[in-house]
Amino acid sequence: MNKKLSGAQLVLVPITRVGVNRLPFVENIAKRYVKFIDFVATDYLPDTTARGIMSSNGMFITIADMYGNTKLMDNLPMSRLDYANINAGVRQAIGAKISMQDCFITNMSASNVGKMCALMVYYDLEEFSRRNMSDKTIVDFVTVPIVTCQRYNKFPDSDRMAGKRFRRILLDTYNTIAPDFSQLVNQAYLNSVFVTLRKGSYNVVENMPIKLLQQYAFLEKTEWANIIFDFNSSYITIGGAGTITGQSNYLDHSIMFNFEYEA
Amino acid sequence: MTQITQNIDLVQIPLRRGVREYFLPNNADWKDQVIDKIVMVLPYYYGLQSPVDGAYLQPLYGGNPDIYLDIYSDDEKLICNGLSVQNLLFQNQYPHEIKSKISTDLSRIYFAEDPVFSEEGDEQRCLLLYVYYGGSQIMDPEPSRKNVSVQINLTAGQRMSFREIIEAYVHVNYQKIRSITVTRDNTNYAPVFLTLRDCQLKYSFVNIYDALFKQYQIYGNADHRRVTHDIFPEDFDLDMDYSYLQNSSMVNPTTVVITFEY
């Protein structure tokens, strides 16, 4: 399986009971080849005031194939999908088309009831990815100013990177000031920041927690399959739909990425 | 395919108060070579000293983490614009790969703000970089069949050549060594630097910080991660007298477990 990522979408699973909680149907992922699923431990979620689950303890996931009658993962401890956990190791591959309605989370913890379990689903998206045409790459930085603690903190236009094919998207969590002297959001508050990369009207990457882009911390190399997207329609979302506490930690600050793309 | 590193050069950049921008040296051996990657050693805390002259390395905490790299290729194209320090650190499993000849006249390391120095003193501070160059790829090599580990105790400032280690402690045909890895633990920890030379002087690994050869992970400790080491070139004929370990601390003894694969 080609481990390079193309499509990615955050799926929120309402945990309504102790026991089985089914995944919602997501049209973009249906009939798509799913590569990985990450459990995302975050409190504030994009575009909702519902709170997220901060720990994978007491949760197990079952993934069914596209016909719904074969379990690709049968009650796998959710901690195995907690990629951002320092002890997690490499991502657990799925490598198949799945039936989301036949997938479920078995929740054993009463404290999780009423919250949302956030799963980052990575799937094959051939329409917005390309093969390598060159070995040479260029790295640039982009700072996204945070003007609202909700959606649509828009990426700045970039002539230099317009129409490029992107291979790596890197986040540095130590920096406090960007090369353009923007004040950066402190690493303590990055858990509630999500990025959406759009091409036209399609979300190539939708609500991806930016903490998952911190390559420094992870054992497995995260690479993208020369994905294409438009800067002028992509944006950052702060979780909580305006209810997040400590908004001054975000407003008047910026998020900085390093983008590596084909030269 | 496996990437082989043929040379790692140590570059020490002295820092000055009020100076934010530093250029790479013009007279380095790798000036006209294809650079594989540049790895920066930023220890978490103050106290690590350079093996060259004892200058203190700029730390990550208590120093200034806003360090960026601009790299120009030899034909003056900007190939890295504002690459941030976390993508260069030695702890990173996958530091950014440059894979190009670079212009040392234009390429620079810079701080977004003035570098922070401690208030106690005006002692010399530096940045330590390792430039990997001259790499090549080979088809999947045969795996090493044997390995042997030996624990070495180094007193403060002690240097021990590989001839002393291998002849005294390890009975192995040293001409067939495929790789060397280092294991450290948190107790009794003083930095150790390795210098590895081959008899033909074709390859050079000078004063390499031991963390670049580490291959272990301590759970729950963010300071130590598994770092994949590069296998040595197959024709690397280790010069036993001029390859050595050095405890760079002038105060503390230390213990190193070194593993030879052959």
Q: Which amino acid is at B54?
A: G
Q: How far is B3 from chain A (nearest CA, A)?
A: 15
What pLDDT is recorded for position A186?
92
| Beta strands B67-72; A116-123: pairing state | unpaired
How far is the C-alpha of A146 from the C-alpha of A168, rounded, in Å? Answer: 22
What pLDDT is recorded for position A249?
94
Q: Which residues of A152-178 are buried (b: 16+ CB within 10 A; e: fewer)?
A: ebebeeeeebeebbbbbbbbbbbbebb
| pLDDT tens, per residue, chain B with 262 residues | 666 767 888 999 998 888 899 999 888 888 889 998 898 988 877 778 888 888 888 887 777 779 999 999 999 999 999 999 888 887 777 888 898 999 999 999 999 988 877 655 556 788 999 998 887 777 766 676 777 888 888 898 899 988 887 776 666 665 567 777 777 766 666 788 988 888 888 777 888 888 777 655 444 444 444 555 555 666 777 788 888 989 888 888 888 888 877 7
> B113: closest CA among B66, B70, B81?
B66
The residues pairing with B100 across neighbouring beta strands, listed in sequence order, are B35
The residues pairing with A153 across neighbouring beta strands, listed in sequence order, are A236
What pLDDT is recorded for position B217?
47
B220: nearest CB among A86, A170, A258: A86
How far is the C-alpha of B123 from the C-alpha of B118, rounded, in Å? Answer: 9
| Beta strands B67-72; B108-111: pairing state | antiparallel
How far is the C-alpha of A18 from the C-alpha of A108, rounded, in Å? Answer: 5
What pLDDT is recorded for position A88?
65
What pLDDT is recorded for position B188?
61
> A208: closest CA among A105, A121, A95?
A121
Q: Which residues of B35-47 are buried (b: 16+ CB within 10 A; e: fewer)?
A: bbbbbbbbbeebe
Give the B window 152-211 contacts with A, CB below 8 Å.
none
Q: A10-38 pLDDT, tens per residue?
A: 999 999 999 999 999 999 898 899 999 99
Say if A219 is an interface residue toward chain B (CB within 8 Å): yes
Q: Which residues of B102-140 are buried (b: 16+ CB within 10 A; e: fewer)?
A: bbbebbbbbbbeebbbeeeeeeebbbbbbbbbbbeeeee
Q: How far is B209 from chain A (nearest CA, A)?
A: 19
Going by the DSSP 8-state scheme, the letter that residue A25 receives in this structure is P
Could you tell me which residues come within 8 angstroms of residue B157 by beta carbon, excluding any fewer than 6 positions away?
Answer: B246, B247, B248, B249, B250
For A61-86, the DSSP string reads EEEEBTTSSSEEEEEEEGGGG-TTST
Strand ranges, E, within A146-262 = 153-154, 166-171, 193-199, 202-209, 230-238, 254-262
What pLDDT is recorded for position B93?
76
In the block, residue with structure tokens 């499993």: B93
What pLDDT is recorded for position B43?
80
The yes/no answer to whether this complex scores an ipTM above 0.95 is no
Query: Which chain A residue has the Cα nearest residue B101?
Result: A136
Q: Are B90 and B211 in contact (CB under 8 A)?
A: yes
**For an interface test with B, which of A79, A181, A216 has the most B Cβ atoms less than 10 Å from its Cβ?**
A216
B86: nearest CB among A172, A219, A260: A172
CB contact under 8 A, B82 and A178: yes
3-state helix, strand, coil in chain B (%, to 5): 5, 40, 55
- For residue A197, what are its two tokens? 């990369």
> B234: closest CA among B175, B182, B194?
B175
Could you tell me which residues come within 8 angstroms of residue A27 by beta carbon, excluding any fewer than 6 positions away?
Answer: none
| B219 contacts in chain A (CB < 8 Å) | 86-87
- For residue B11, what are its two tokens? 């570059």
Residues of chain A with pLDDT under 70: 86-89, 217
In the block, residue with structure tokens 């490598």: A95
How far is the C-alpha of A103 from the C-alpha of A70, rounded, in Å? Answer: 10
Q: How far is CA B91 from each of CA B65, B94, B185, B214, rounded to the nearest angstrom?
A: 14, 9, 15, 10
How far is the C-alpha of B229 from the C-alpha of B3, rounded, in Å? Answer: 10
Say if A90 is an interface residue toward chain B (CB within 8 Å): no
The residues pairing with B16 across neighbouring beta strands, listed in sequence order, are none
Furthest C-alpha separation in chain A: 55
The H or E element spanning position B165 is helix B162-168
| A219 contacts in chain B (CB < 8 Å) | 93, 225-226
Q: How far is A44 from chain B (nearest CA, A)?
A: 25
Going by the DSSP 8-state scheme, the letter that residue A51 receives in this structure is B
- For residue B16, what are its two tokens? 């000055």
